[in-house]
Structure 1
């Protein structure tokens, strides 16, 4: 009994201490820095680059993802590729770069003991990437392989179809991975020029750090390593956040044993007052779909609902099934039950608890903390993360119902699989 009480008290103290350690923000020579001090034995650091797919044209699709991956792997001015990789291996330093729809990153993770060594490699990769031609070719081939894999994976393809359908004729529909044709045409010189001229701009960048380091020590490192960073004019992109109306069907034929279908709908932005209530209503929808389609009817192994959190967000109900018509009818039934408010205060309390527990578990990883803070900053403010639990706790049943009514209007049904069976399912 004493042991149980000890663990309960320890868990409560752990959650309390994490809740009290809030992230802070400050500027160093014009570079915005977000720091979350922790007592962890690992440290995670990411340089974020704003803009994502809004930084380039469809003909350049994939250039930013390749540029950041190459900057993190293809040597630097002060370290050859071999030296760079040997030092990273010796000290267990992981450095990577990539770009998504809304932002790109160069990230470093290491244990706190080797922070100095990790910082040297990380900062040089940001400021002085060499884009060694041989290593660049290897990196490019790896990127093209990832593109082919994403196109062959049905779940990834459905997500791509969703973006293409939701944001047709908009730069926001560009796949940040690019395609084999665009990425295959990039040279080391082209990618280097893009990185230095488009991305390396203090006004477009910000740094996020989580680990056992003081503000003063971090400021000294930044002063020494990033003093040469230039500031250029930067106008943040304007996002056309139109509400989806009406319904339509998008079908792509593919010879696969299991058919994939998704219903794309509206969603609020992360910094909207409606966000937390909407997240909970989508979680209720997801739980009900899982019970109805998987547990009760056996129509799918992984049905659910989720929110694509981005500058122009959307929500989706999704299912993979061999019986599309029955799955479609079951999805509509579940949707209508949630719309009618067939959930209780007890269920809402359970949803809130799941979010609190998930938040604290997520905070156990320094890399997760950095990713969450950086994404929140891009989408509004890093403070959205620290305010997450209190805001979820405030949600009422009325808030959930109102958010459902406000946003779940209009839909795009996306289907991948047997074309005839798919079209018949929606009749």
Structure 2
């Protein structure tokens, strides 16, 4: 009887502990907070800013990325650049800011025992950034150099071409990194004005935390540090999620040894019921492409398929090759096999296992937890992350085939390389 009672108590305790590891959400003075309690020796926190490229026009492309990067590196009203950097180095505190298509962040990672020191720098960078002119110029030059390098990288250029083609004449096609011309023109005053007037608004911000801290402890820190944050009217952007139909070809001439090609197609949003089945199907497609084009035919080093998960997501089948025509035919063959459902229950079980293993490995990092929760919140709800394994486990073979057929109704073929060879490949 005692053994039975102990066993029941153990089950209840395990359930309780499991429940406690789920992320929770609450408001502090109007600021939304998402907390994932952990027992890790590291602490991670990010302030998210909603909107991304929908916050500005093409003439200001890159301003948000520069604003957040500068806020995180160019000192504060309470810490000079030198003091700020020395304290960060002394305690192993990492603070960085950046912006993507859908959101921006200022993030901080540190060892848990140095949380107080890290929190002071992090919160001051958000509330009181100084945009020191000398350090601002250094930050801007680093970003411009990065932009120049990315433009010369074929894989990055294909991604840019994909966004430009998929979202032509839409703000969503703006590159959040900007370009050398726009970013070079920004001044500390312009960027500071954008940060304080466009970004620093608790109605478009939310905080995500992963670490060994209680809700009460966190609330106390937030009230002390962010109690002065003001809220202004904020209307979330409306996204035009049109279904891609028909087939189109976009070609850009570039003298490179290897040609790059990508096929852009539709995809479900992260909060769609079709998301889990579709992801597993694209994983099957990617694995089959790798086997057929790399292992079997030797046409490419790293072919595959992926989903660019964002407010308006898309699927991409990609390959770099010296034989575009053969690669194109091989891609179509693999695509048709997946469309017809030529994969087994055993293969599906293996895909699910890979997802479970990858999820748990990813959750080992506090910064990964924060990143995943924040992105999920932007794209639907932070609860998507904690429910992910269970929802992937529910997917059936029929679900996969149905999801694939539902979204694969159009395509844009993007090609970078020898134009004449490329156009001939698609005939």
Name the TM tier (shorter chain): over 0.9
Alignment partner of 1:381 is 2:381 = yes
Secondary structure at the counterpart of residue 414 of structure 1: strand
Determine if the alignment matches structure 1 residue 403 to structure 2 residue 410.
no
TM-score normalised by length of structure 2? 0.96
Specify the alignment match of 1:7 in structure 2.
Answer: none
- Does the 8 A contact of 2:44 with 2:108 survive in 1? yes
Partner of 1:202: helix, strand, or coil? Answer: coil
**Which residues of 2 match residues 299-314 of structure 1 at below 5 A?**
299-314=299-314
Aligned to 2:7: none
Supply the distance in 1 between the matched residues of 2:93 and 2:417 (Cα, whole angstroms).
42
Change (3 A) 1:99 1:14: farther
- Cross-structure match for 1:75: 75
How far, CA to CA, are the matches of 2:322 and 2:338 in structure 1?
25
- The Cα shift of 1:20 comes to 5.8
Alignment of 1:311-350 (within 5 A): 311-350=311-350
Shift of 1:148: 0.5
Does 1:38 pair with 2:34? no
Match of 1:91 in 2: 91
Residue 326 of structure 1: CA displacement? Answer: 0.3
Provide the C-alpha distance between the structure 2 equivalents of 1:344 and 1:57, rounded to a whole number of angstroms. Answer: 47
Tell me the secondary structure at the aligned position of residue 306 of structure 1. Answer: strand
Look up the match of 1:176: 176
The whole-number CA distance in structure 2 between the counterparts of 1:158 and 1:211 is 38
User: Can you list the C-alpha shifts for 1:36-79, whole angstroms capped at 9, x where unaligned?
Assistant: 00010000000000000000000000000000000000000100
Question: What is the CA distance between 1:159 and its match in structure 2?
Answer: 0.5
Q: Provide TM-score, normalisation by structure 1.
A: 0.96
**1:31: Cα distance to partner?**
0.2
* Distance in 1 separating the partners of 2:74 and 2:23: 32
2:158–2:415 CA contact under 8 A, matched in 1: yes
The equivalences for 1:195-344 within 5 A come to 195-344=195-344
**Cα distance in 1, alignment partners of residues 160 and 130 from structure 2:** 32
Q: Deviation of residue 359 (structure 1)?
A: 0.4
**Counterparts of 2:65 and 2:276, CA distance in 1:** 31
Partner in structure 2 of residue 365 of structure 1: 365
The answer as to whether partners of 1:21 and 1:36 remain within 8 angstroms in 2 is yes
Q: Which runs of 5+ in 2 are unaligned?
A: 1-12
Relative to structure 1, is the Cα distance of residues 155 and 300 closer, same or farther in structure 2, using a 3 angstrom cutoff? same
**Cα displacement (A) at 1:261:** 0.3
CA distance in 1, matches of 2:19, 2:178: 40
In structure 2, distance between residues paired with 1:417 and 1:16: 57
Q: Deviations over 1:333-383 (max 9, x none)?
A: 000000111000110000000000000000000000000000000001000
Kept in 2, the 8 Å contact 1:15–1:360? The answer is no
Shift of residue 181, structure 1, vs aligned partner: 0.5
The reply on whether 1:62 has 2:87 as its aligned counterpart is no
CA distance, structure 2, for counterparts of residue 233 and residue 192 of structure 1? 20
Q: Secondary structure at the match of 2:203?
A: helix
Cα offset, 1:15, TM superposition = 13
RMSD, aligned α-carbons: 1.4
Partners of 1:247 and 1:263 in 2: how far apart? 10
Gaps of 5+ in 1: 1-12
Q: What SS is found at the alignment partner of 2:40? A: coil
* Partner secondary structure for residue 25 of structure 1: strand
Is the contact made by 2:160 and 2:175 (CA closer than 8 Å) also made in structure 1? Answer: yes
Correspondence list, 1:8-47, <5 A = 21-47=21-47
Q: Work out whether residues 108 and 118 of structure 2, in 8 Å CA contact, stay in contact via their aligned partners in 1.
A: yes
Displacement of 1:16 in angstroms is 11
1:121 aligned residue: 121
What is the CA-CA distance between 1:17 and the residue it aligns to?
6.4
After TM superposition, the runs of 4+ consecutive aligned structure 1 residues lying more than 6 A away are 13-19
Match for residue 166 of structure 1?
Answer: 166
CA drift of 1:143 comes to: 0.6
- Contact 2:374–2:382 (Cα < 8 Å) also in 1: yes
Separation (CA, whole Å) in 2 of partners of 1:322 and 1:42? 46
Kindly state the Cα deviation for residue 19 of structure 1 after the two structures are TM-superposed: 7.6
The CA distance in 2 between the partners of 1:416 and 1:40, in whole Å, is 45
Shift of 1:18: 6.5
